[in-house]
């Protein structure tokens, strides 16, 4: 009876709140309308409460001037501290930032050559290239890029604390075979690949990602787009249809994440974003996912790969050990004990 009643309430809610079938259709019931967001957060407050708990909502206002129509930051002659401040302010304002050409092309080329086994080969026949290439977990040998001081300082400035690594570092190249819309995805037997993330979506509520471009990412190629400012809103996790964005004033808030090889792209998990796919046009990056606390994806295989390089874990700085402590747990003097809710926690009792 409860299941039947819940189904009827859901059907009535969709009838009242999502009448316009041109922009609302299964499973695209996401909205940026204040009233709908209020209703959602009253009946499903988990996401907003998690953001509040980890101080990811509300988002503080930028303390320095930021461009309204671009999220690309030009390092120019800015000092290190000023560049950190401007980049964090841009993320706060738009939900994302691209620091254009932060690393030199020479550095990027040398890094790719040194770690070539993790990168896709240069195949000339694009028909044989997979849509998504994932290079596997990289080792601590890349710590100076993964936990680069600038990357860590920007994220720390935005989230208000030292971040935790959420996943293991991994190279990813996408080469879409087609452009797929939400309307295409809503149809049976759609050939689109949802893993390309072409749908307008948000990520986990406490995630923030940095990614280093190993390709030039240009407006007429495959690139991420964000809806500027949605990171500052109490958004639901529901996806938006392409028609909803295109037919509303939010269309004017869509900004491209583009930059030359060596650029760093940051994006907050709470900003609506998607891949604007250009068929057979690739984008290769090395991505680093961080979090304010939750959703850390520890795995035995990841730990093994992380320690498989030549870098000695003991030689890491205490800060880097703390950043990695979720995916590479710190040594506990008294070991660990089972927690009543599952998993393990350090032993609190100091005796024997």
The predicted pLDDT at position 286 comes to 98
3-class SS of residue 300: helix
Q: What is the mean pLDDT of the chain?
A: 94
The string of pLDDT tens digits covering residues 123-142 is 655 667 899 999 999 999 99
Strand partners, 172: 134, 285
Q: What pLDDT, on a 0 to 100 scale, did the predictor assign at position 332?
A: 84
DSSP result, 180-241:
--HHHHHSTT----GGG--SBB---TTEEEEEEESS-B-TTSSEEEEETTGGGS---SPPBP
Residue 45 DSSP symbol: T
Percent of the chain with pLDDT over 70: 94
Residues 51-67 have pLDDT tens digits of: 999 999 999 999 999 99
**What domains, with CATH codes, occur in the chain?**
2-329 (2.60.120.620)
Summarize pLDDT for 301-338 with one digit per residue, the tens.
Answer: 999 999 999 999 999 999 999 999 999 998 888 888 99
Instruction: Enumerate residues 6+ apart whose C-beta is below 8 A from 44.
Output: 236
Rounded to whole angstroms, what are the CA distances from 25 to 34, 242, 288? Answer: 19, 11, 34
User: Looking at residue 127, what is its pLDDT?
Assistant: 65
pLDDT of residue 102: 98
- Whose CA is closest to 70, among 272, 259, 273? 259
Q: Where are the alpha helices (DSSP H) in 95-196?
A: 105-114, 143-146, 149-159, 182-186
Cβ–Cβ < 8 Å for 221, 283: yes
- 63-112 pLDDT per residue, tens: 999 999 999 999 999 999 999 999 999 999 999 999 999 999 999 999 99
What pLDDT, on the 0 to 100 scale, is given for residue 125?
59
> Can you say whether the dihedral through the CA atoms of 36, 242, 251, 196 is positive or negative?
positive
- Asked if pLDDT for residue 162 goes beyond 60, the answer is yes
12 — pLDDT class (breaks 50, 70, 90): low
For residues 36 and 249, what is the distance between their CA atoms, to the nearest angstrom? 16
Helix and strand numbers (H, E) in the chain are: 11, 13
Polymer length of the chain:
352
Q: What's the average model confidence in pLDDT over 258-263?
A: 98
Q: Which residues face 97 on adjacent strands?
A: 266
| Closest CA relative to residue 214, chosen from 142, 169, 262, 256 | 262
Instruction: Please tell me the predicted confidence (pLDDT) of residue 349.
Output: 85
């Amino acid at each position: 009876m409860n299941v039947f009643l819940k189904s009827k309430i859901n059907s009535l809610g969709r009838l009242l709140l999502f009448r316009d079938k041109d922009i609302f259709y299964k499973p695209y019931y996401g909205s940026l309308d204040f009233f709908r967001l209020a209703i959602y957060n009253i009946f499903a407050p988990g996401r907003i409460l998690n953001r509040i708990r980890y101080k990811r909502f509300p988002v503080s206002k930028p303390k320095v001037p930021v461009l309204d129509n671009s999220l690309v930051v030009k390092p120019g002659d800015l000092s290190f501290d000023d560049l950190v401040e401007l980049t964090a302010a841009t993320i706060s304002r738009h939900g994302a930032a691209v620091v254009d050409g932060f690393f030199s092309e020479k550095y990027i080329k040398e890094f790719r050559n040194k770690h070539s086994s993790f990168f896709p080969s240069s195949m000339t026949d694009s028909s044989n290239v997979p849509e998504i290439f994932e290079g596997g977990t990289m080792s601590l040998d890349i710590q100076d890029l993964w936990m680069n001081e600038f990357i860590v300082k920007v994220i720390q400035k935005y989230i208000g604390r030292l971040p935790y690594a959420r996943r293991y570092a991994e190279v990813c190249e996408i080469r879409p075979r087609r452009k797929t819309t939400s309307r295409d995805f809503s149809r049976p037997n759609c050939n689109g690949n949802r893993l390309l993330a072409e749908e307008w979506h948000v990520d986990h509520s406490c995630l923030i990602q940095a990614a280093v471009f190993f390709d030039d990412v240009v407006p007429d190629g495959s690139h991420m787009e964000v809806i500027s400012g949605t990171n500052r809103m109490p958004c639901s996790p529901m996806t938006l249809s392409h028609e909803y964005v295109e037919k509303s004033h939010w269309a004017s808030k869509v900004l491209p994440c583009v930059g030359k090889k060596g650029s760093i792209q940051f994006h907050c998990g709470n900003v609506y974003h998607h891949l604007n796919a250009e068929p057979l046009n690739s984008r290769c990056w090395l991505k680093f996912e961080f979090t304010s606390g939750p959703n850390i994806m520890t795995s035995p295989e990841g730990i093994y790969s992380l320690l498989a390089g030549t870098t000695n874990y003991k030689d890491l700085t205490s800060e880097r050990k703390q950043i990695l402590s979720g995916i590479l747990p710190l040594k506990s003097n008294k070991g660990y004990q089972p927690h009543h809710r599952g998993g393990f926690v350090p032993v609190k009792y100091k005796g024997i």
